[in-house]
Chains A and B, each alone.
Chain A
């Protein structure tokens, strides 16, 4: 078929000073939706909808999608990156800390930049990196050894390379940075090593630190009181300095509301993961969303999803910013399907709780009170908890379509773990779990769901959990439709202005669904686990959609 022209907003280009030829200005980032031929940020725009205005691929022609090109990584391991696409060039990261620039139309490579992480890196879950950010003609990548690197987009040469934190203490950077105005904002991973998490902003031109917000407040700071003193003669181990290694990692890109000048970040589990007894109190701001001033890092508000967590329910999800009519009032809302199994709607101006309901089976709480605080019902020792350790969802990107008004969430269903808590003394650089979690299986000793990476044979079956795309209505909290998968899913979701939803599966299928009904429009069997999100872009007026399966990146289009 003949592709239609893609609308391009020229006014954004006119803002670039003559001679600078900056490809991605901060103004362009403010309205990324207006230039849908590019994919400018990790989540496609500051509101993190993962929704594109491109509309060539439709429910009627999705069945004609064909493979355009493939890029094969030479590196093994789960590949979690989201590409950026700018002016026909795709920038991706691959293990451990490479950046690759490719022709987005053909997949041919322009250059590869390699940062070799220090041997002192300590990462819980493999050499993961989720992508780069771009400002002007500069790319920014966080590294496994907790550095931030600026790279010239034209040549692939490093411009500056700074230390963000000490990798020997378990700090790492795996998220794609967030660029706001002239700053590059990142957070640190290491929630399994007893770090003290933080979000920090750096000057894009120099790498100089502009501000830092600790997700675990220190003495004298608001919230520190939620790291309560140990009771005298505590019957179990209690750590009087628990806050110092209280976790609160930030390993997923935040969102930004320019009108409020607030950035939003999902905060990870408290440390240690599974033993709440040694850190009495709510343990702010673990398992929370924090709203931070983009210029100063000052905390505007917080909302905690799982106080005094014992289930490793990181609130490391993408904050999805949506303007809703809420009970007749125009409301700046935030949609959040949490790892703990509840789907929340919050007011993103104030952090006020608007609604919450389980989207999968939940047993760790009997419900939420009027302020959204869970009424916790911990299981007896040795008894299972729903959802299990990986949660009802996790870091996999959801999508919101302003056309359908639906919030699309990758979910793990019918999945439980038996949690075990054990006292653990903190030692720098060591795993700091404080117990563990075992999958509930129908037969003792039966295989469980592989935590991060699966092979070609599924010998655990759907009896230990299955996957679904849930189309949730924010107004009711219930699912308008569901698309079920045999295995659980780690794939992100993309929607388009033509009501096509793209997503992948652990068993290697790449799907186009009808965003209105959940009906399958098309699928391709790509042969290996999909653990990142699809993006769409256009070159020379033709729409493409990309997905990574196994060690290869596939790009599909409608052909000639």
Chain B
């Protein structure tokens, strides 16, 4: 049987957006207290970003997703419900883990907590999101994004699911993905093409890879793990199948689409 190439038929957003949400974020607890909402000064957030970059990014990464099972950008934390919990962890560390104690003064702790709470929607760049409601219409209409992407159970699976993309990626990164999909495509999302010994051609999206095997989703929802030694050909493609939207959408539509993507925080539909 020749397998259908889902990627070839894709006309919408594909490849460039991340699949980081597959790891960890779903384990986060829902905050019990709401004291953190809307109460952080921009100056604190900016100061917190500087402190985070200097002290935290080495392990957690610039996007807060580099420690296994921890996704800081999601704004929800397994071990911390309140801001007080967050301050305690930053100050005292977590015994038995890599997370060290940090000797910060009160202003520094305030700034770090502010940045962690706003990490998901704070972007020091000049990107200005528009209206999320109109952006959804663009996503499902003129953008034809659901042809490849899926949000809260609606749309195709050939490109990454975007249900929590706003919790994972900053505005600037999403904007780059819309304007330059190939240049912004994360390596793990590169489309792959494999030819088995039987001559079967499998085109799909890479989910995972190691020295001897590669895991692929194809044909919308089928998962396959291939032994590289059993393949006649295996190719990781450099070009994203997603079109660049700079010419086909207006500036306003792009801003609205961006606002919609940023609003997707992985909440249950």
Contact = CB atoms under 8 A, between A and B. Distances in A.
B211 A455 contact: no
Interface stretch (A47-55, A121-129, A238-246): A121-129
Contacts of B98: 124-126, 452-453
B209 A461 contact: yes
Interface string B91-117: 000011110111100000000000000
B83 to A, nearest CB: 22
B176 interface: yes
A123 B207 CA distance: 34
A450 B68 contact: yes
Interface stretch (A28-36, A130-138, A371-379, A431-439): A431-439
B185 interface: yes
In this complex, the interface size class of chain A, counting residues with CB under 8 Å from chain B, is 35 or more
A126 B97 contact: yes
Contacts of B96: 77, 95-96, 126-127
A110 to B, nearest CB: 25
B100 A436 contact: no
Given A122-B100, A453-B68, A459-B20, A446 B186 contact: yes
B62 interface: yes
B82 interface: no
Contacts of B243: none
Given A124-B100, A486-B211, A461 B173 contact: no
B207 A457 contact: yes
B247 interface: no
Contact of A455 (B57, B68, B185, B207): B68
B23 A422 contact: no
B187 interface: yes
B53 interface: yes
Given A451-B66, A485-B211, A422 B54 contact: yes
A447 B66 contact: yes
B103 A429 contact: yes
A487 B210 contact: yes
A219 interface: no
Contacts of A436: 53-54, 57-58
B69 interface: yes
B67 interface: yes
A460 interface: yes
Contacts of A433: 54-55, 58
A56 B102 CA distance: 52
A518 interface: no
A203 to B, nearest CB: 32
A159 B226 CA distance: 54
Interface in A464-489: 464, 484-487
Nearest to B92: A119
Given A430-B102, A450-B66, A460-B187, A509 B173 contact: no
Contacts of B54: 422, 433, 435-436
A505 interface: yes
Contacts of A403: none
A448 interface: yes
B69 to A, nearest CB: 6
Nearest to A127: B96
Most buried by B among A119, A126, A445, A454: A445
Contacts of A125: 98
B32 to A, nearest CB: 25
A508 B213 CA distance: 12
A125 B100 CA distance: 8
Contacts of B19: 459
A457 B62 contact: no
Interface residues of B, number: 44
Contacts of B67: 450, 453
B127 interface: no
A370 interface: no
Contacts of B18: 459
A444 interface: yes
B22 interface: yes
Contacts, number: 118
Interface in A105-125: 119, 122-125
Contacts of A487: 210-211
Given A445-B169, A450-B66, A461-B187, A119 B210 contact: no
Nearest to B61: A448
A257 interface: no
B53 A431 contact: no
A458 interface: yes
A335 B145 CA distance: 57
B183 interface: yes
A443 B184 contact: yes
A445 B95 contact: no
Given A126-B97, A445-B170, A505-B211, A451 B185 contact: no
Most buried by A among B61, B210, B211: B211
Contacts of B102: 430-431
Given A77-B96, A431-B100, A486 B209 contact: yes
A126 B59 CA distance: 12
Contacts of A454: 68
Interface in B16-38: 18-20, 22-24
Contacts of A122: 100-101
Contact of A457 (B23, B95, B186): B23
A429 B95 CA distance: 15
Contacts of A431: 55, 100, 102
Contact of B186 (A443, A453, A462): A443
B222 interface: no
B211 A457 contact: no
Nearest to B168: A445
Interface in A399-456: 422, 427, 429-431, 433, 435-439, 442-448, 450-456
A51 B5 CA distance: 51
Nearest to B183: A443
A452 B60 CA distance: 11
B62 A438 contact: yes
Nearest to B97: A126
B14 to A, nearest CB: 15
A57 B120 CA distance: 54
A225 interface: no
Given A455-B23, A485-B211, A487-B211, A448 B188 contact: no
B208 A457 contact: yes
A460 B188 contact: yes
18 contacts: A122-B101, A125-B98, A126-B97, A127-B97, A433-B54, A436-B54, A436-B58, A443-B185, A445-B173, A447-B63, A447-B66, A450-B68, A451-B66, A452-B59, A462-B209, A484-B211, A487-B211, A509-B211
Given A458-B209, A459-B208, 13 more contacts: A123-B100, A427-B103, A431-B55, A438-B57, A443-B184, A446-B186, A454-B68, A455-B23, A457-B22, A458-B208, A459-B18, A461-B209, A509-B211
Interface of A: 77, 95-96, 119, 122-127, 422, 427, 429-431, 433, 435-439, 442-448, 450-464, 484-487, 505, 507-509, 523
Name the 5 nearest CB pairs between A and B, nearest first.
A455-B68, A507-B210, A461-B187, A486-B211, A463-B187
